[in-house]
Amino acid sequence: MSQSDPNHKLKLFTESLNDSEIKSSRIERLNSIAESLSSVYRQDDTLNLNFICTHNSRRSQLAQVWMHNFSRLFHLNIHSYSSGTEITQVHPNILSVLEESGFEVEKSRETNNNPRYKLNFSETKGSILLFSKSIDDQSLPKKFVAISTCSQADENCPFIPQASMRFSLTYDDPGKYDGSDREIEAYRLTNKQIATELKYLTHKLISDE
């Protein structure tokens, strides 16, 4: 693959993700989730995963993107979504770290408080729209597996009628560093952690088939 290939940067980033950087407690959690998801996947031959965080602006957006990327990369029939208990907007730093990772983001010309962004993967993996949405948004499937990426979502949303199963896979909020000299580095670390763990999770789904 040549250096001029638009997917070269993304390929290098994904290949750099190392399972050894995942803490043992997280490995146990990921294995447990993978085992449960595998049983559903074997039965239905498909999965709808909805990553949920309070504002659907940071962690849940990253999880949707990386799950989509790895499910297509490993040829799994998994459809990823994200939503929240409140509608806000995709944080600009999320778009920045995704572009740094090698994704192409077409910035919306919309001027409202919740613009949409088209994130391109490749000709074979297509694209998805990134925007903040609630858990009852019409773009979401009628049934899905819910994965909470922040503890607030667990607290604020104790029951999700559309969810056939529910799991907690929480991450520290990089937003707490907004306005500090650690801001962009915090987003980069969160992006890498989510990408690393979801790459591991999809590998487990393949091995458990």
> Which CATH number fits the domain that encloses residue 143?
3.40.50.2300
3-class secondary structure per residue, 14-60: HHHCCHHHCCHHHHHHHHHHHHHHHHHHHHHCCEEEEEECCCCCCHH
Q: Is residue 144 a part of any domain in this protein?
A: yes
pLDDT at position 82 over 50: yes
Start-to-end CA distance of the chain, whole Å, equals 30
2 pLDDT above the threshold of 50: no
CA distance 209 to 199: 16
Structural domain contains residue 149: yes
Confirm whether 3 is domain-assigned: no
Distances (CA, A) of 8 to 31, 96, 121, 203: 30, 18, 11, 21
| CB count in 10 Å sphere of residue 120 | 15
Question: Is residue 6's pLDDT more than 60?
Answer: no
With a cut of 90, say whether residue 177 has pLDDT above it.
yes
According to the model, what pLDDT value does residue 1 have? 38
Let me know if residue 198 belongs to a domain: yes
Q: What is the pLDDT of residues 121-146, one digit of tens each?
A: 876 667 899 999 999 999 999 999 99
* Residue type (1 letter), 36: S
Alpha carbon distance 93, 34 (integer Å): 29
Q: How many domains does the chain have?
A: 1
Full domain range(s) for residue 180:
8-207
Helices (H), 102-148: none
A 10 A CB-CB count for 139 gives 9
Residue 157 lies in a domain: yes
Q: Is 50 within a domain? A: yes
What's the DSSP call for residue 159? -
**pLDDT of amino acid 206:** 86
pLDDT at 124: 64
* Strand pairing class (126-130; 117-122): antiparallel
Task: Give the whole-angstrom CA distance, residue 156 versus residue 202.
Answer: 28
C-alpha–C-alpha distance, residues 183 and 188, integer Å? 9
State the average pLDDT over residues 15-22: 96
Residue 69, helix vs strand vs coil: helix
- Is residue 66 packed enough to be buried (19+ CB in 10 Å), middle (13-18) or exposed (0-12)? buried
Kindly state whether residue 1 falls inside one of the protein's structural domains.
no
Residue 190 is encoded by which pair of tokens?
């969160």
H-state helical runs in 157-182: none
